[in-house]
Structure 1
Amino acid sequence: MHTFRQAVETHDAATIEATLADDVVFTSPVAFKPYPGKAITAAILRGVLRVFEDFRYVREIIDADGRDAALVFEATVDGKRVNGCDFVHLNEQGKVDELTVMVRPLSAATALAEAMGAQFEQIQREATEQVQRETAGA
């Protein structure tokens, strides 16, 4: 859990991606359905790193076995203060296999949706390119 948290806090996209399981499922606070897979999740998280300003975790709640955590954060998006929580689950290999994000207030969620919408073409391109590289290397 600490590797994921530290990578997010330091904007280390490569380490964030390395913490993700191949079958990770990302549930966005602003999208209707979850995004399955490492390539799209990593691309989305890179997009988030581009749109969040002043991001910091302010609280960490971890269960006794260390596989489930709630990481409470604060950030700014387009001038709107965001309060949120990353709910993270680690698989038996210690990789993130579930990541659910919730944000508030509504005005901040709306700003986040708009900012991520502007990133989505790049996110899709990055994910597609990654899948193509992995397929070519297999």
Structure 2
Amino acid sequence: MDVLVLIGRLLFVGLFLSSGVAHLTKTGPMAGYAASRGVPMAVPATVAGGLLILAGGISVAVGLWADLGALALAAFCFPTAVLMHGFWKDSEPEAKMMERTQFLKDTALGGAALLLFAFFAYAGHDLGLMVTGPALSIG
């Protein structure tokens, strides 16, 4: 079971880690896109988002207060879904469909991150292959 949880954690955070690196190494283009979607202070938001998902992704990957890492990922996903992928603002059918898909992806990942938070906070002390137990405890 411990190995399956580790594999799941690593597969889950791969997207966040690669995206976090892109936020920090390709800040200009990413901030430009964020600005085009109406995100205020796009450059600081891009850098802050990159740092948040890197920290959260590393936390979940290595099991260092993974519950807080999962919460950080959820805290990134839900605002990103609304601010960056507001498909209801698009009038072009292709753009609307693409943004709707991205919106649903981000909300699904945020939901999965909330599930991981609950999982780590509830069973974290019993999981192997973690650096620490959870910072918070449920039940």
Whether the TM-score (by the shorter chain) exceeds 0.5 is no
TM-score between both structures, scaled by the size of structure 2: 0.29
> Which is richer in strand?
1
Larger Rg: 2
